[in-house]
């Protein structure tokens, strides 16, 4: 488990310096979502992509720790139009900067694939990761 966490943190460190492309903001403007298309990795029908969410207000996770941004490694099934978040890293600062507040990676046996909702923001991310947009 420690080795897997180290690999995820190593990947995230390299991703945090990447070029993030603004994609959308919430209707209240409190969160902005960014993608980096250079992080897309495809293997057959499966595509992976890092997504960065930046918050305008401090967030508090389930453990009571405070963070300002998070990155998720999301896996997309381009054939079945399903999605699963497989890693989450929360940062004390904006835009994936500052200290890592919490990091978690789910093993493949723990994944629970969810269908895309037509017209949703999740579907937009799926289209980007799968090269449909």
Please state which CATH number belongs to domain 2-129.
Answer: 2.40.128.710
Residue 133: what pLDDT? 65
- Which residue in this structure is represented by tokens 């969160």? 31
Under-50 pLDDT residues of the chain: 2, 4-10, 12-16
The tokens describing 57, both together, are: 């207000």
* Domain range list for the chain: 2-129
Distance CA 34, CA 112 (A): 24
First-last CA distance in the chain: 36
pLDDT confidence of residue 27: 83
**pTM across the whole model:** 0.81
d(CA 128, CA 24): 13
Neighbours of 41 (CB within 10 A): 13
Q: What pLDDT shows up at residue 26?
A: 87
């Amino acid at each position: 488990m420690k080795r897997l966490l180290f690999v995820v943190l190593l990947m995230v460190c390299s991703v945090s310096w990447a070029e993030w492309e603004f994609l959308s903001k919430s209707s209240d403007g409190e969160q902005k979502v960014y993608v980096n298309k250079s992080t897309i990795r495809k293997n057959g029908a499966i595509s992976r992509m890092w997504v960065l969410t930046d918050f305008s207000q401090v967030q508090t996770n389930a453990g009571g720790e405070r963070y300002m941004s998070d990155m998720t490694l999301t896996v997309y099934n381009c054939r079945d139009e399903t999605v699963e978040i497989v890693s989450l890293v929360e940062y004390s600062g904006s835009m994936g900067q500052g200290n890592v507040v919490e990091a978690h990676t789910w093993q493949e046996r723990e994944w629970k694939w969810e269908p895309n909702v037509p017209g949703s923001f999740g579907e937009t991310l799926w289209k980007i990761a799968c090269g449909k947009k």
